[in-house]
Amino acid sequence: MMKKTNILLVAAFLVVNTFAVPAFALTGDEILAKVEKAMNAPADRTATIKMIIKAKDGTTKERKMKISQKGAQKKLFTFLSPADVKGVGFLVIDDDTLYLYSPAFGKIRRIASHVKNENFMATDFSYNDLSESKYPEKYSAVLDKTDGEHYVLTCKPKPGAKTDYSKLVMRVNKKTYLPSKVEMFNKAGKLFKVMTNGAVKKIDGYWTPTHIKIKDVLRNHTTTMKLVNVKHDQGLADKVFSKRNLKKVH
Amino acid sequence: MTKKTIFLYTVVLSLGVAHIGNAQQETDDATEQPAVVDEQPGDIEGNPPDPQEDVAEETPGDIEDKPSEPEDESPENESDDTPDTEGEENSSVQEGAGMDEGASVEEDDSFEEDDEFEQEFEENEDDDGAWRPNISGFVKLDKRFLTSDSEVPMVDFYSKARLELKTWPTDNLLVVVSGEVRFYSLSGVSSSSDLSDPNKQMPFDAFPWEIYFKAHDLFAPGIDFSFGKQRITWGAADKLNPTDNLNPDDFTDIFDWGAKIPSTAAVLSYTFPNDWSLAAIWLPSVRPVLLPRAGGLDLGGGQDLTPLLGGAQVVEQEDHIDTGPFDLKHSMQAVKFSGSVLDIDFSLSYLHGYDDLPVPTELTITPVDATSVSLSTTSSFMEQHVIGADFAGELFSVGYWAEVGVFIPEGATMQITAPGPTGDPVTQEQVAVEDEVYVKYTAGLDYTFSCGFYVNVQYMHGFFVERSRDELNDYLLARLEWKFLEDKFKLALGGGGMISDWDNVKEAHGYVVMPEFSYRPFDNLELAVGAFLLDGEGDGLFSALDDQDQVYVKAVASF
């Protein structure tokens, strides 16, 4: 009887694992590629964003802006409030080409690399966080584990890749292939930031996180982004992501 | 030091007053969050909100509403079923597709719902806001105190407020109307009768700032046209731009370096598909420099009039500025070509126009009686051509820029008519403006250290008040900034040195130190204290101002 039970258990285990094969068949890099694909699935996206910046002492600040994105890289941010940053525009053409428009001066300035790991407009996002998009190009991923709903990847920079982080631990939703949580470790190997995606909704056929929170663990400082009026695939032209338009939208 | 240098410095010194400006703030802001201004919330194209625009079909806040997942919607199945979509960028089918629109997947319940934001947004979407003007502006209170004894103290400091209305009547038309009020720290009371005059008690100036429209994609895509009183900024350098000559100088605050005022212009530009652009600018007439209320030109044009006066006393003085006829010949024209190559942004420009600072071209000394004379001066704006170029990029993570302006003045003479030995008028001619080419240039670097310090260094040949080859001096300017405690506090130390004679540096140098401590208690408000401290030897700009040391307190509220 005992032997029969064991055989049944072994058989059950094999069955479970047989059905689980497709999941485990994916390597970390393959999952990361799917993450990339899921994040940049729409041809383009627009949204209005409210950012709530919460400091260590509990005080909060609010920012509102519009964002347009095309593909993985092209992004255009326009601040709507508060008044002292209203009209400031931020254009990402690719990882290395970023421009900031300052309406007070009517000037567009290229953002040099030394600024890119600085916090973007006092938020917890660095310029790099906002411009970086192609995880598989910069990181190699290893599948650490999987549970009911998530894969857990450890991503390390590929040789020669310029990154702000020494390691990412990414929790990926199996259904949407969107990262639900990303832990970012600084060059010293310390946990630096934690990004959490929430309120993931299907909009225009695309899974879209409408709440994104990033916490600077070292400063105990948090920025939460809430997205409304999200639209996809509107056929945004390349000219939207131009210096001309960066000035025009203000 | 040439006579013309003396003349120009005299102009600077004769400003007599220095208004509170935001030289420092603007330098800061150029590298961080700029203060103030406008913006019309618009759509992705930058167009005004479309009242018909639909608020997505998403269901905000329905995080509890999780529909059941069909088995075949698993990512693995989809992946297996549609292998040909693997690797396709921007695939139109996302992993997990198939759920109802508006479905949600709850990943983290730590987010608070924000119905207010969504409701506010929906209200704006419902609003017919096509003509809704966007109102913005700032109030800048600036109080300065002289800290050194001065024979001619600059005390006409001012605070200011600006109000701007901006609207998009149609998708491709922007209209901007703004005005500025400058109100002075000191009253203009000088006699008992002034005590009942509110304009003397509370002197202020109010004037239009920018009033213009801009049409986008006029005639064809990529063609923009703007017309009206507008600020046209040129140059890659940080605030000190030798190619930024379309708008006249605002010399009302001697420490607000490079300040300009908007002027009437028509700008026709075409942006190529690769984002390079070509712009043609026409300014219908000469726009003169703006001097402080108590300022004025040296009517002698820098000339030593003592021998001509022969000991006579000047009892009358009149001057006339000839702005020239309002015709095409006296208009200004410019073109500019901008682009990017190898991650370097560049521009080339040409301007035919007139210097905004008038130069005396006629001086008549007329005897009134045996011991006194009257002076009559006519000043004109000097024609010039300016060829400009600039570029900006980065090298080893350090931002850099350089800008050069080649000035080609037409040259002019000054006719001086004075009584000769016989008492009859005798006219002699002197050079008012040399027709020799001179070059101004600025080169700079900036860098942010990992500890948060920001450094900006610029070398400049030819300050904004200097004209002609003999007058150009060499300046090295730097600014160090450090923000701390949630960026609420900022310590900044700006400063610069100049050499007016490299053969005699000890006797021909000057420097300025500009410390500032600012505090942003919350958004839209900045409080600051700072100082302008100058010293030097010789007749350079900084040494000439060494008795104008000031400390200030400043508050800027934006709305």
Q: How far is CA B424 from the centre of its chain?
A: 50
Query: How far does B106 lie from chain A, in Å, by closest CA?
Result: 5
Best CA proximity match to A38, nearest among A188, A137, A172: A172
Contact criterion met (CB < 8 Å) for B107 and A209: yes
Residue keyed to tokens 């006629």: B362
| A10 Cβ neighbours under 8 A, 6+ residues apart | none
Give the model's pLDDT for residue B451: 81
Contacts of A231 in chain B (CB under 8 A): 56
Q: Do B121 and A176 touch (CB under 8 A)?
A: no
Chain A: nearest CA to B36, how far in angstroms?
5
Q: Is B283 helix (H, G, I), strand (E, B) or coil?
A: strand
Q: Do B107 and A86 touch (CB under 8 A)?
A: no
d(C-alpha A45, C-alpha A201), whole Å: 14
The reply to whether residue A174 touches residue B522, judged by beta carbons under 8 angstroms, is no
Q: What is the pLDDT of residue A113?
A: 74
**Looking at the 3D structure of chain A, how many domains does it have?**
1
A90-130 pLDDT per residue, tens = 898 887 788 999 888 888 988 887 777 778 877 888 877 77
Q: Per the CB < 8 Å rule, is A104 touching B34? A: yes
Say whether B114 and A50 touch across the interface (CB within 8 A).
Answer: yes
Which residues on neighbouring strands pair with residue B182, listed in sequence order?
B160, B205
Q: Which residues are registered as beta bridge partners of B226?
A: B214, B267
pLDDT at B242: 95
pLDDT band at A17 (very low <50, low <70, confident <90, very high): very low
Q: Is residue A230 part of a domain?
A: yes
Q: A221-243 pLDDT, tens per residue?
A: 899 989 988 999 999 998 889 99
CB of A84 less than 8 A from some CB of B = yes
Q: How far is B99 from chain A (nearest CA, A)?
A: 7
Residues 16-35, chain A: which have Cβ within 8 Å of B? 22-23, 26, 33-34
Indicate yes or no: pTM above 0.95. no
Closest-CA residue in chain B for A55?
B486
- Which of B36, B96, B233 shows the shortest C-beta gap to A176? B96
Q: Regarding beta strands B313-322 and B372-380, do their DSSP bridges make them parallel or antiparallel, or are they unpaired?
A: parallel
Cα–Cα distance for residue pair B477/B485, rounded to 1 Å? 27
Residue B226 CA to residue A35 CA, distance in Å, equals 45
Contacts of A78 in chain B (CB under 8 A): 39, 42, 46
Long-range contacts of B490-495 (CB under 8 A, 24+ apart): B490/B28, B490/B516, B490/B517, B490/B518, B490/B519, B490/B520, B491/B515, B491/B516, B491/B517, B492/B24, B492/B28, B492/B516, B492/B517, B492/B518, B492/B530, B494/B24, B494/B27
With respect to residue A144, please indicate whether it lies within any of the assigned structural domains. yes
Task: Work out whether strand B104-105 and strand B134-146 pair parallel, antiparallel, or are unpaired.
Answer: unpaired
Hey, where are the domains in chain B?
Answer: 3-49+127-558, 52-85+94-126
Cβ contact, residue pair B37, A71, below 8 Å: no
The shortest CB-CB distance from A199 to any of B111, B117, B221 is to B111
d(CA B475, CA B178): 35
Distance CA B23, CA B44 (A): 34
- Domain residues for A86? 26-248
Question: Which chain B residue shows the shortest CA-CA distance from A60?
Answer: B522
Low-confidence residues of chain B, pLDDT below 70?
1-132, 152-153, 295-310
ipTM of the complex: 0.74
Tokens of B6: 């003396």
CA atoms of B117 and A179, how far apart (whole Å): 25
Beta strand A206-216 with B509-522 is unpaired
- Domain B3-49+127-558, what architecture? Beta Barrel (2.40)
Residue window 140-199, chain A: list those with CB within 8 Å of chain B: 173-177, 180-181, 196-199
Could you tell me if residue A54 is inside a domain?
Answer: yes
CATH number of the domain residue A164 falls in: 2.50.20.10
Looking at beta carbons, which residues of chain A come within 8 Å of B96? 175-177, 207
Q: Where are the alpha helices (DSSP H) in B103-149?
A: 115-126
Cβ distance B111 to A226 less than 8 Å, yes or no, reads yes
The nearest alpha carbon in chain A to B452 belongs to A118
Nearest chain B Cα to A53, which residue?
A: B486
Q: Which residue of B has its CA nearest to A207?
A: B94
Distance (Å, rounded) from C-alpha A123 to C-alpha B12?
Answer: 43
Q: Cβ distance B131 to A204 under 8 Å?
A: no
What is the amino acid identity at position B362? E
SS (H, E, C) B433-498: ECCCCEEEEEEEEEEECCCCEEEEEEEEECCCCCCCHHHCCEEEEEEEEEEECCCCEEEEEEEEEE
In a domain, A211, yes or no: yes
**Residues of B whose CB is below 8 A from A245:** 45-46
Contact: B101, A203; criterion CB under 8 Å: yes
Give yes or no for A240 touching B (CB within 8 A): yes
- Could you tell me if B56 lies within 8 Å of chain A, comparing CB atoms? yes
Residue A2 within a domain: no
- pLDDT for position B351: 96
**Does A18 map to a domain?**
no
Q: B99 contacts in A (CB within 8 Å)?
A: 202
Q: How far is CA B56 from CA A200, A203, B122, B362, B378, in A?
A: 15, 8, 10, 70, 67
- The residues in B 278-337 lying below 8 A from A, measured between CB atoms, are none
Q: Which of A114, A175, A233 sits opposite B75 (nearest CB)?
A: A175
In the stretch 146-205 of chain B, residues with CB closer than 8 A to chain A read: 174
A126 touching chain B per CB within 8 A = no
Cβ contact A244–B36 (<8 Å)? no
* Domain presence at residue A152: yes
With respect to residue A153, please indicate whether it lies within any of the assigned structural domains: yes
Of B524, B527, B533, residue with least CA distance to B553: B527
B503: tokens are: 């053969």
Taking one residue from A and the other from B, the number of pairs with CB-CB distance under 8 angstroms is 276
Nearest residue in chain A measured CA to CA from B62: A199
Chain B contact for A223 (CB, 8 A cutoff): no
Structural tokens at position B440: 């101004």
Task: Give me B505's structure tokens.
Answer: 């540096």
